[in-house]
Amino acid sequence: MLYDSHNQFDAFISFSEQDASKASALIGRLQGDKFRLRIDDGPTRSREPLYRTMAEGIQQSQYILVCLSPAYLESKWSIFQNVVNRLLSFEQRRRRLVLVRLVPMDLPSNSEWPGKVSNVYQSEDEYQRLIAHLHSPITLQALLKQLDLEHDPFDYFEAEKMPAESLEETFIAQPGFEEMIDVDQSAVFVAPSGGGKTASRLRLEIYLKQRQSTALAMSEFQRDELVNAPLSVTYNDFSNVVEFVPNVGLQHHRVPLLAAIAESVYIFITEHADRFLGLIDNDRSWFWFYLRIYLKGESLIFRLQTDLRLKADYERLADESLPPFQADSTLGDVFAALPKRLADLSLTAMFILVDGIDGYTETRLPIGQTVLVSPLLDALSLLSLPSVVWKFFLPDTLKQEVQKSAGYSTGRLRIIPIEWDEYSLKGLLQTRLLWASGGKVDDINQWCDRSLNDVNISAELVSMALRHRLLGPPRALLQLGSKLLESQTATILSRDDWNYFLQQVQSDLTQPELKPLEYDLPNLQRALDQLLGKIEDVRDYNARNRVYEAAEQLRVNIRRAEKVTESDMLIEERRRLMQQINDIAYRYMNQTLDDQIAA
């Protein structure tokens, strides 16, 4: 029955000497049911040995049973509380502690008991429930095994860390995904943090890889026909670009963008060595020189150790070519020349997938993100190339900035929101459960007890994910599911577990059911718009960041004011909130901004 290999005992049981006869009966039954027990028989006269005995028993056991009685409260209760509070976190106490009432009595009013309570004095059914609980797993891995799950269905909050085959198996195509893979149209996909941008980008990579393989395979049988094989390039390393914030120009993207292309070209060459080695010497020499200059990380000669043919070819030809591009060539010049070289490898289209711009300290706020990506959104020389398709995956807070860009205003870019609804989120949850269980589980209610028959757990999680204040719906759903598993103290999800979960996540959710009061909110919204409108006049980067932060604080307070009800706030408190909102708006509009503009 032991689930944690480091535990010597299944349970530590503590009781008062005055209750020895009743406790012995319980101990005998538990031992008869094959439980290995560490028994707290330390003396009650000396506090130090008792403290040490309890600490050792708790550390060596999976569960901790306290036989509660008036005698235990007088002799050991305070010591026990001190020991468990020092050794166990709240979550551990909640999972591992079991209060066993030997006689009818209440828990002391000044005590908090996060664990399970068992009334074994009442009936045989109560004892059987205690046995079932002690057979429940403690660790997440043990719980997953008990639930017949091969994986954690809510793992991989970050799609980048998920294995490609698992991503493909669990990916749910949102409305607009077909537009995402449109070969002929560059586009900007917008979503909030955790809204599925990176997962969509990774799924697009898989699609393009499959399309490339199919096109190249067909070319072996249709040699006279044009092969439409794409090269997928992921551009998500901006570590050498953000150091130039707030003065990022297109030239700062040149080297890191060419490095991203070099990585994709290198992978293609190693996967299609025969096709590459079939090129003439001059063409191969050009590619070798290009890779040697722009590949990041391990040296090219080191990478080629696994393919002796390519290594030998590189050593023979690498020094026989001129530099791939002129030193003074612009990024537009480079991109104009690259497709001709890629066509030698039967690669007739290059997809540039731009993602992860908000992953740096300098780009934490929208203004930093705008500074970083705007040179690319405005680069008509890059966006106009017929054989290069750009797919940007950006935070939805940049939508207005994209609409101001040259790429959007000239029709070279379109904006496609990545949106989630109840139907697509239910599909994601069901797909995740089926993936994790090998097709055995498709609904969380399959592991709930009868007390939750009136609750559709899956539907509740989906509803919460759509109302999450901090995360996009898909990541919110995974985080909520993970917290639900953490809240589960036994193999079966109980009503107590569900209520505890609801308490844990309540602060992350909006409250759509609140009835708004009649505020003068239009004036406040105009103040916010005016505040944002002045940002463009502020030249100092740090000042603009402060203004963005002030605007965000104002926006949050306006939302809060919209949701306040009569029962939530007294008249004076509402007035104080409104004054706070006004102070923020007008302080920044009439003082800070004017000072910065004047400077």
CA-based nearest residue to 582, from 543, 527, 532: 527
Characterize the bridge pairing of strands 97-101 and 37-40: unpaired
Token readout for 285 is: 């020499």
563: amino acid identity, one letter:
K
pTM strictly above 0.85: no
Question: Is residue 2 a contact partner of residue 38, using CB atoms and an 8 Å limit?
Answer: no
pLDDT for 489: 76
pLDDT for 594: 45
CA atoms within 13 A on the CB side of 580: 14
Say how far apart CA 253 and CA 330 lie, in whole Å: 11
Token readout for 476 is: 């919110």
Question: Is residue 168 a contact partner of residue 204, using CB atoms and an 8 Å limit?
Answer: no
Q: DSSP for 176-242, please give it.
A: THHHHT-TT--EEEEE-TTSSHHHHHHHHHHHHHHHHHHHHHHHTT-TTSPP-EEEEEEE---TTTG
Q: Give the list of residues 6+ apart from residue 577 with CB closer than 8 angstroms, or none.
A: 557, 560, 561, 564, 569
Question: Is residue 561 a contact partner of residue 585, using CB atoms and an 8 Å limit?
Answer: no
CA-based nearest residue to 30, from 103, 100, 88, 112: 100
Would you kindly state where each structural domain of the chain is located, as residue ranges? 9-135, 175-402+410-417, 422-508, 521-598
**SS3 assignment, position 79:** helix
Q: Which residues pair with 233 in a beta bridge?
A: 352
CA-based nearest residue to 198, from 369, 370, 395, 351: 395
Cβ atoms within 10 Å, residue 412: 19
Eight-class DSSP state of 493? B
Eight-class DSSP state of 590? I
List per-residue pLDDT tens for the chain, 599 residues long.
334 445 788 889 999 888 888 889 889 999 998 889 998 865 544 455 777 888 888 888 888 998 888 888 888 888 888 888 888 877 677 778 888 888 888 776 555 666 677 776 667 877 887 887 777 666 667 778 778 888 889 988 788 888 888 888 888 877 666 666 666 789 999 998 889 899 999 989 998 998 899 888 887 766 555 567 899 999 999 999 999 998 999 999 999 999 999 999 999 999 999 999 999 999 999 999 999 999 998 888 999 998 999 999 998 887 766 777 877 788 888 898 898 999 999 898 999 999 999 989 889 888 889 999 999 999 999 999 989 999 999 999 999 999 999 999 999 999 999 889 899 999 999 999 999 999 999 999 998 988 898 999 999 999 999 988 788 899 999 999 988 988 887 778 888 889 888 888 887 776 444 334 344 555 556 666 666 666 666 556 666 666 666 666 666 666 665 555 444 444 455 555 555 555 555 454 444 444 444 44
pLDDT for 530: 65
pLDDT for 395: 94
Quickly name the fold that domain 9-135 has. Answer: Rossmann fold (3.40.50)
Token readout for 227 is: 């092969």
**SS3 assignment, position 137:** coil
pLDDT for 320: 65
Q: Give the list of residues 6+ apart from residue 216 with CB closer than 8 angstroms, or none.
A: 227, 229, 272, 275, 346
CA-based nearest residue to 432, from 373, 489, 474, 472: 474
pLDDT for 569: 44
Question: Is residue 284 a contact partner of residue 317, using CB atoms and an 8 Å limit?
Answer: yes
Question: Is residue 399 a contact partner of residue 416, using CB atoms and an 8 Å limit?
Answer: no
**SS3 assignment, position 439:** coil
Give CA torsion, residues 207, 210, 211, 212, to 10 deg.
120
Say how far apart CA 384 and CA 412 lie, in whole Å: 7
Say how far apart CA 58 and CA 366 lie, in whole Å: 50
Residue with the two structure tokens 């025969």: 274
Q: Burial letters for 199-232: b for 16+ Cβ neighbours within 10 Å, e otherwise? A: bbbbbbbebbbebbeebbeebeeeeeeebbbbbb
CA-based nearest residue to 141, from 5, 334, 31: 5
Cα dihedral across residues 146, 150, 156, 157: positive or negative: negative
pLDDT for 381: 92
How distant is the alpha carbon of residue 265 from its chain centre? 30
CA atoms within 13 A on the CB side of 236: 18
